[in-house]
């Protein structure tokens, strides 16, 4: 997927999403949650705190 596509899906401009990817900006908690929901993974997985992709319920 392109940065534009992901940004649109989580309601973030492409340029802002690019800053998140390059580490130029910190990802706010709300965006982090939106990304986790979008990819169907846990926030801990995105942050590298676990290798388990699936979300625990």
How far is the C-alpha of 21 from the C-alpha of 39, rounded, in Å?
15
Query: Cβ contacts of residue 7 below 8 Å, gap of 6+?
Result: 13, 14, 16, 17
How far is the C-alpha of 9 from the C-alpha of 33, rounded, in Å?
12
What is the number of alpha carbons within 13 Å of residue 49 lying toward its C-beta? 7
Give pLDDT, residue 55: 66
Domain boundaries, given as residue ranges, for the chain: 3-46
Would you write out the chain's pLDDT as a tens digit for each of its 57 residues?
999 999 999 999 999 999 999 999 999 999 999 999 999 999 999 999 999 887 666
pTM: 0.86
């Amino acid at each position: 997927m392109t940065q534009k596509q992901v940004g649109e899906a989580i309601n973030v401009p492409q340029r802002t999403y690019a800053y998140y990817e390059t580490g130029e900006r910190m990802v706010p908690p709300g965006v982090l949650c939106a990304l986790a929901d979008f990819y169907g993974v846990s926030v801990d997985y995105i942050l590298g705190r676990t290798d388990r992709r699936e979300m625990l319920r």
